[in-house]
Amino acid sequence: MATSNLPRLDARLGAAFAYVRAGHTAADIGCDHGKLSAALAGSGRCPLVLACDLRPDPLQKARLACAQYGDAVQFRLGSGLSVLQPGEADDIIIAGMGAETIIEILAAAPWVFDARYNLVLVPATKHSVLRRWLVQNGFALRDETLCEAAGRWYTVINARYTGEKREPTGLECLCGKIPGQPGDRAYFAQQNAKLKKYRLGLAPGAESDAVDALIQQMEERICP
């Protein structure tokens, strides 16, 4: 089913849409307004979209947004991936939640630690925390898209389980696959400002030295 009456997606959700594989069933976890679910179903990119949310009111908004797509969108009420059977969706989008919530959702569903699933993650906060957790837990950061939406910089992460667990460097956590993308300097400045802010709470010593070193590396990236 493909219609021309599709919702307008902001830059974040537009980038998330682009990472969803055509022809696959997608689950939009935390669908809220339902725009991404509607776009995926209405464009014909996904034959079936599972629009999921923790709360009834957002899910009701999604029902309205997707009403015209009939059986191409199903609705699930509940937390995270608990509303899905393993294998029901191949492409899983979790957008607009903080990194810790995204991590809780993934950690609570061991079946998603499998290369068949294409993960599209859009953390609202703490991008570095999510990158670190993914790499430590065997997910490869395949790609990222830097986006500006509502005056803030976001990263849209495309990840896939490989089973290779490792400890990422601090710089990798902070910058991910962003270096070289349009807007990267502004993103590094946003990350750098946060580091400097957090550093204020640290006692002098090893931790502080490590943060100093990271700030220096980031500044070298900004002004090479």
Query: Radius of gyration of the chain from Cα atoms?
Result: 18
Q: Per CB under 6 A, does 26 bind ligand SAM?
A: no
Q: In this structure, what is the dihedral angle of CA atoms 178, 145, 170, 30, given to the nearest 10 degrees?
A: 160
Nearer to ligand SAM, 98 or 168 (CB): 98
Per CB under 6 A, contacts with ligand SAM among 106-125 are 122
Nearer to ligand SAM, 11 or 171 (CB): 11
How many residues belong to the site for ligand SAM (CB under 6 A)? 18
Per CB under 6 A, contacts with ligand SAM among 69-108 are 79-80, 95-97, 101, 105
Between CA 204 and CA 53 the distance in angstroms is 44
Residues 6+ apart with CB under 8 A from 51: 28, 31, 34, 37, 59, 62, 63, 66, 73, 74, 75, 76
State which residue has the least CB distance to ligand SAM: 96
Q: Per CB under 6 A, does 156 bind ligand SAM?
A: no
Between CA 6 and CA 36 the distance in angstroms is 10
Q: Which stretch binds ligand SAM (CB under 6 A): 49-57, 68-76, 125-133, 181-189?
A: 49-57
Q: Per CB under 6 A, does 9 bind ligand SAM?
A: no
Residues near ligand SAM, by CB under 6 A: 13, 29-32, 52-55, 58, 79-80, 95-97, 101, 105, 122
